[in-house]
Each structure stands twice: as C-alpha cells, then as structure tokens.
Amino acid sequence: MSSLRKLKSGFWQVAIRRKDQPVIYKTFKEKGLASKYGKDVEARMERNIFEDYSGASATTLKDLICKYRDEIVPEQKAHRQTTCKLNLLTRQKIAYLNLMQIKASHIYELKKTLSEGRKPKTVNIYIQLLAMIWKTAKRNFNISLPAESPFSLVALPKIDDTRTRVLSRTERDKLLKAASESKLLQLHDFIQFSLMTGARYGEIVRLRREDADFDKKTCTFRDTKNSFDREIPLADAVITILKRYPFGDTFFRIKDDSFRFYWNQARAKADLKDFRFHDCRATFCTLALLNGMSESSVALISGHRDFRQLRKYLRIKPADLLDSVNKIVSIK
C-alpha cells in the first residue's frame, strides 16, 4: 500500500510498501502527482507488471562500472585491457549521473569527448562496452532498468576495419634485426615465433613447457580466445627457438608493459608504418596460403573456426597471385 507525507521542503513524498520488499520512495512537487504515482504503481503491482527502478536511481554509472570491473572483469581473458578502459570511463562526466538520469544526449556528449585523439573504432569499443554493462545490469547485479536502453538510440558509425598490412621479406628482416638488438632479450624469438606459427600474443606468453612435445614436433595452446585447446605442428626452426629456454614453467617470460615498450621501439627502429604485433599472425596466414596450404589447414593452425573470420586475416593482393596466373595461362 502507498502513503503520503509532506516534507519540510514543501514537496510530497509517496512511500509504497510491499511485504518482504524494500520500501519505494518518490518525491513530487504536488500532492496530486504523488498520489497518482502511488496508485499507478499499486495497480501495476497487482497485475505483476511493475518494475522497481529505485535501485537504478540509487546507482550512478560509475558505481555500475566499478561493480562490473571488480566482480566480472577479473574472470575475463583480456581483463587488463578492459580494466584500463573502464577506469577511463569512470572519470567521464556521464559517470556521475544515476542510471535513470542517463539519456541519449549524454552518450552523444561522451562520444564527442572520447573522439578527441582517438580513432572512431576505439570510440565505438568504449560505447559498446558501456552498452553491454548496461544490458547485463539486471542479470549481474539485480538492477532493473527500463526496457529501452539510451544506448540503443545512439548511432555508431560503421567502421571498415579490414587491414591490408602484411610484412614483406625486407620488412621482416629489418624488424627481426631491430628486435635482436633490443634490451628485451627474448623479443626477437618472440616475434619470430609468431611469424612462424600465427599464434596470438597471449597464446605465446602462456605456452607452458609441458605443452610442447619436441618428439612429436607439436605444441598445444591452452585457454585460447575461443576457449578451445589447439594443437599445432612446430617447424624445426620453431623447436630450435623453444629449446633456447630450458628453464621455468613457460618459455617466454615477458611482461605486457615491457613488451609494449620494446616492441614499439623495435618497430620504430625498423621504420615500420601502421604495423601491429597482431599483424604477424596475418602475415603467417597470408604466406601459408600463398605457399599452397589449404584454408582448412591454415584454420587448423590459426584456430579460426569460421573461414569468414580467417579471410579477414588474409592480406593477399592481386600482384601476389601473378605467378599462379602465369602458370595457369602456360598450361596447354
């Protein structure tokens, strides 16, 4: 049942009480509005269509972000990167609004702020991360929110993230030479391992000694991005690299911050433009196909479970196919 009381400020407060449930309070300027709200809520409760948004009103976006960061993110593979993004979002103006105050206009303002010095794709990632946290607030934290999310009203530009960057032989030689001169002693072999296997950064870092079988010439990546273990063949040159590090649980003892610093240093020294470490993986996939390996074989090694995803990594240009075309033309 609902009850009304006049506050010292002159406003009217309605209190709605339900058995075994928290009391719902809401304040209005006029007594009539407070009374109408109380009756409407009671009627919706009787029909079991009432959603209590008091939790959302008492929770700021910053509160929600921090709960997600502290309780959900630590279980994720990319928890460090996600934590950094969330920490930045807690410092934005929108973070200090309660969840019921947030409108599409606030999100557009956030987009504008984040766009300063960042690429559109990066801005989209931040907005999509917030939208996902909002969408799962009920499931994760039992915070009810209106069915229509303000994020659904915000248009995000479609980004063409197709990359065409793959290392030429000359560029590979320059990069590996720069890496061999780095103060990070394992940098050269780390890069070489990726170029020879197509493995992701995290897979290489986590590769344990017990998961490499030099007799079978294979290794198994555990806890991969798609949550499946993946066994791949190891070329003799790759085995030679791994045998250089006979101690410790893992072959490569590289910390993220150190790697990022020395990778950027080596990349600059090699004068590589617009090249990311993940492009080493694309370089491997592209070269494997150009050298006659089938898509299914490349996917088996790279871990792509969908050929459409694999094709995003392939950086084959028409000029790369010239030799193959000439061979076809010469067939009589």
Q: Which amino acid is at 46?
A: E
- Are 238 and 193 a contacting pair, CB within 8 Å? yes
- Are 84 and 43 a contacting pair, CB within 8 Å? no
The DSSP 8-state label assigned to residue 11 in this structure reads -
pLDDT tier at 332 (50, 70, 90 boundaries)?
very low
Q: How far apart are CA 124 and CA 155, in angstroms?
A: 10
Indicate the SS3 state at residue 79: helix
pLDDT of 127 strictly over 90: yes
Nearest to 198 by CA among 127, 300, 108: 300
Among 7-21, 236-250, 282-296, 300-314, the range of highest mean pLDDT: 236-250
Q: How far apart are CA 51 and CA 41, in angstroms?
A: 9
- Are 25 and 15 a contacting pair, CB within 8 Å? yes
- Segment 306-321, tens digit of pLDDT: 777 677 656 566 665 5
Q: What is the pLDDT of residue 317?
A: 62
> What are the residues whose beta carbons fall under 8 Å from the beta carbon of 171, sequence distance 6 or more?
270, 272, 275
Topology of domain 169-326, CATH = hpI Integrase; Chain A (1.10.443)
Half-sphere CA count of 67, side-chain side, radius 13 A: 17
**CA 329 to each of CA 253, 292, 294, 323, 332: distance values in angstroms, whole numbers, following the listed order:** 51, 18, 22, 10, 8
**CATH class entry, domain 61-153:** mainly alpha
Element (H, E) at 190: helix 187-197
Beta strands in 165-285 (DSSP E): 212-213, 218-221, 230-233
- Segment 154-211, tens digit of pLDDT: 888 777 666 667 898 999 999 999 999 999 999 999 999 999 999 999 999 999 999 9
- Are 307 and 295 a contacting pair, CB within 8 Å? yes
- Segment 231-276, tens digit of pLDDT: 999 999 999 999 999 889 999 999 988 999 999 999 999 999 889 9
CA 55 to chain centre: 28
Nearest to 217 by CA among 239, 197, 250, 198: 239
